[in-house]
Amino acid sequence: MNATNRTATGCRWTARILSALLIAALVSIAIGEGMPNPLTQPPMVQLGFAGVALIVLGFLAAWRWELAGGIASLVGVCMVFGPNLVDGKMTWFIAALVAPGVLYMTSHLLRCGRPGFLG
C-alpha cells in the first residue's frame, strides 16, 4: 500500500469514527431535548431540521459513496449554520460537523485521483 492509499484510508476511517460519534451526539440531543413535531414549527426551524437530517444522511451515505455523502453533509451544515459561518462564528461543534464531510471528500479524491461521483 503506497502513502496515498494509506492517507486515503486514514481520512476515511477518521471520518467514519467521527461521524458515528456525531450521529450519537445528535440523537442523544434530540432525545434529551424532546424532539418536537417538525411540521408544527416555523419555516426556518423546519429548514434547520431538514439540514440536520441531511447531515446525518450524508454521514451514513458516505460509508458507501464518499464524495456524495461528504457533499450532502456539508450542504446540511450550511443549511443549519450558514448565517453563523458568514458572521465568522465557527464553534468547535460546527467544525466537528464539517470535518467528516471534508475528510470523506479528501479520501475519495486521494483514491480516485480526480473529482467525480463514479470511480
Contact 58, 101 (CB under 8 A): yes
In a domain, 100, yes or no: yes
In a domain, 119, yes or no: no
Contact 81, 110 (CB under 8 A): no
State the pTM of this model: 0.85
Nine cell digits for residue 108: 475519495
Residue range 12-35, pLDDT digits in tens: 999 999 999 999 999 999 899 888
In a domain, 24, yes or no: yes
Question: 116 falls in which pLDDT band (50, 70, 90)?
Answer: low
Residue 51 lies in domain: 3-112
How many domains in the chain?
1
Percentage of the chain modeled with pLDDT above 90 = 55
Q: What's the mean per-residue pLDDT of the chain?
A: 88
pLDDT at position 113, please? 72
In a domain, 8, yes or no: yes
Taking the chain, what is the end-to-end CA distance rounded to the nearest angstrom?
A: 19
Residue range 52-75, pLDDT digits in tens: 999 999 999 999 999 999 999 999
In a domain, 42, yes or no: yes
If we measure between CA atoms, which residue out of 14, 35, 13, 32 comes closest to residue 96? Answer: 14
pLDDT at position 85, please? 73
In a domain, 99, yes or no: yes
